[in-house]
Structure 1
Amino acid sequence: MAKLSVGVLRGGPSSEYDTSLRSGAHVLRSLTTDWYQVRDIFIDRDGVWHMRGVPTTPERALHGVDVALNALCGEYGEDGTVQRILEKLSVPYTGSDAFASALAMHKVRAKECAVEAGLRTPQCIVFRVSEDYEKRLLDLFRSFPMPVVVKPVARGSSIGTSVAYGYTDLAESIARAFTHSNQVLIEEYIRGPEATVGVIDGFRGEEYYQTLPVEIVRPQGEMIITPELKGCGLAIGHCPSTFSHGIKQELQDAALCIHRALGARHYSRSDFIVSPRGVYFLETNTLPSLSQEAPLVQALTAAGSSLPELLEHVIVLARRGK
């Protein structure tokens, strides 16, 4: 029997370039060559595609590929851009389609979907550059209780995210966020531990399989999980978590709810805050990291599964056009 040709996309012109390289490397190691002819397709920071170290076009890189396994993270790979390239070339691919990817990446639109689906989300204001920037900034500071979380609207993995405690902090945080996006989201700070839950379509005999929640433990004194903490291994995920059975169920229900509301497919991972006031939705990753230390991989391992099992499953889904 001929082996299935699987092209693994990694890298990309994204602020999560390094995360994508780690994710893609783990995927490449996890695909058994007994079943698959694996093709390493590297995309550099400028968006140039490469095969065997040589620059090429997407058409040539994907020629003869049966399925593209999308291991990209962040913009380009997770915002619908690469999905549109793959759709134009009629190459089946893993992960959500272009529309759902773009919807989930846009934090404001994703929050609107969450609210319509009945989920709690932090109160927020969207800030845009305008002629009366200074006045709007002062009005925001006077009307919105501190501290607040400041985020670029169109970035993932906490890129450009910071906590502001006062006016100077707020101005600096918004300026930093504007370097990543032309819109900035200012959210109320919700106190409580962070949790993340995966949803996988049609996995292990279930229409929607919800992973065990992973509890993300921040170092003492840290208010949010930043890319720097993740990169240094200081944001530690625990699975099984210490949450009560009721909270675990609420987290899993919320993850499934937003997965369906966004129209995500194959798999996703959603992030939450567990507050005394309840579970608050933060964001959904339609292409969560699949690196060895990634929360989704942790959750699979805790349930007796593995990344190879997940990869085999989503490749089948992509081939079937589901």
Structure 2
Amino acid sequence: MGTELKNEFGKVGVLFGGRSAEREVSLMSGKGVLEALRSKGIDAHPFDPAERSLAELATEKFDRVFIALHGSYGEDGTLQGALEQLGIPYTGPGVMASAIAMDKVMTKRVCLSQGVPTPKFVALDAKATSSQRLKEVAAELGLPLMLKAPHEGSTIGIARVESEADLQAGFDLCAKYDDVVLAEQFVKGRELTVPVLGSGRDARALPVVEIRAPQGNYDYEHKYFSDDTQYLCPAPLEEALAKRVQALAVEAFKAIGCTGWSRVDFMVRESDNEPFMLEINTSPGMTGHSLVPMSAKATGTAYEDLCVEILRAAKLELKPAAVK
């Protein structure tokens, strides 16, 4: 099997680390993916874009790459564009879908246009929003509300605002990370996530994972390092609700043009079990606490086999033009 996979994939680069605020998580994801691929006999090599020029991707003569980068310069379409130029097939969504998904505001707009519900929101200028405007938004969306840096992930640049007195501090925190601050209606209820694999008609949702963090605080520490957070997979949901959330995940995945794999996050409102899509992650974590491997495991798919499946779907979005 090892020789077969080595011949099938050739020389593989695992891209991890990078320059975003999520570098630490990406290093953990990439290490896991690299070890998994090598355990299958695949000729896999580490590549950190923060330490090496992207020009070296061409000189390394990789036949394909596994993107285990998170956040800016890896998950936002910029790297995908460079790989298209270099003609190196890569895992996950292409340039457009990656760029849209990296912007939580644009993701909401696109998904709403396709009938995927998302919490009410207002996009605010990080440098030109007055305290009066913040109060108006709070009155419009209600308290508590969420403030987010829409181009970050891993719960970086996010604040839950409980009272009007906390508005400015929460806004200032998010404004450190972005030129836009997303003010979002707070949905009280259950936090769910759904991995989606495949493309087009073949896109399929994996089992739903429910996240139960201490005091509902699923922050950076509880997401990646704490053992206090509970993960329930498959989530203990009524079958009809589970299927609805999975269907919405696939719809959101398709709406922004995702291919290969992604993970779609939801809140299900406590009062009426209505699901609301929060965001789409086009290069989800692959650490020991990560949710895509957990969901795949519930179907009998081991971490190593999941990595191989994702790698097998690596491709180029654009067809090379004929040389005249």
The letter of the residue matching 1:74 is G
Unpaired runs of 5+ residues, structure 1, are: 50-56
The letter of the residue matching 1:307 is Y
2:221 is equivalent to residue 228 of structure 1: yes
Which range moves more in the overlay, 154-163 or 252-261?
154-163
The letter of the residue matching 1:310 is L
Q: Within 5 Å, give how 1:155-194 maps onto structure 2.
A: 155-194=152-191
Q: Deviations over 1:53-108 (max 9, x none)?
A: xxxx2222442100011011111111112112211211111111111101001011
Q: Deviations over 1:15-59 (max 9, x none)?
A: 11111011101101111455421111123xxx332xxxxxxx222
Q: CA contact under 8 A between 2:126 and 2:181: conserved in structure 1?
A: no
**Using the alignment, how far apart are the partners of 2:285 and 2:140 within structure 1?**
37
Unpaired runs of 5+ residues, structure 2, are: 319-324
Q: Within 5 Å, give how 1:75-224 maps onto structure 2.
A: 75-129=72-126, 131=128, 133-201=130-198, 207-219=202-214, 221-222=215-216, 224=217
- Aligned match of 2:47: 41
Aligned-CA RMSD value: 2.1
Q: CA contact under 8 A between 2:138 and 2:145: conserved in structure 1?
A: no
The letter of the residue matching 2:32 is H
Q: Deviations over 1:223-270 (max 9, x none)?
A: x42112213233321112111111110110011000000101100100
Cα displacement (A) at 1:138: 3.2
- Aligned match of 2:36: 30
- Aligned match of 1:11: 17
Cα displacement (A) at 1:160: 1.1
The letter of the residue matching 2:26 is S
- Aligned match of 1:254: 248
Aligned residue pairs total 308
**Using the alignment, how far apart are the partners of 2:34 and 2:73 within structure 1?**
20
- Aligned match of 1:53: none
User: What is the TM-score when the length of structure 2 is the normalising length?
Assistant: 0.89
The letter of the residue matching 1:225 is Y
Which range moves more in the overlay, 93-102 or 135-144?
135-144
User: What is the TM-score when the length of structure 1 is the normalising length?
Assistant: 0.90
Q: CA contact under 8 A between 2:16 and 2:26: conserved in structure 1?
A: yes
The letter of the residue matching 2:36 is S
2:273 is equivalent to residue 280 of structure 1: no
Q: CA contact under 8 A between 2:102 and 2:281: conserved in structure 1?
A: yes
Q: Deviations over 1:124-151 (max 9, x none)?
A: 1111145562332233344431100110
- How many percent identity over aligned positions? 29
Q: What SS class does the counterpart of residue 72 from structure 1 fall into?
A: coil
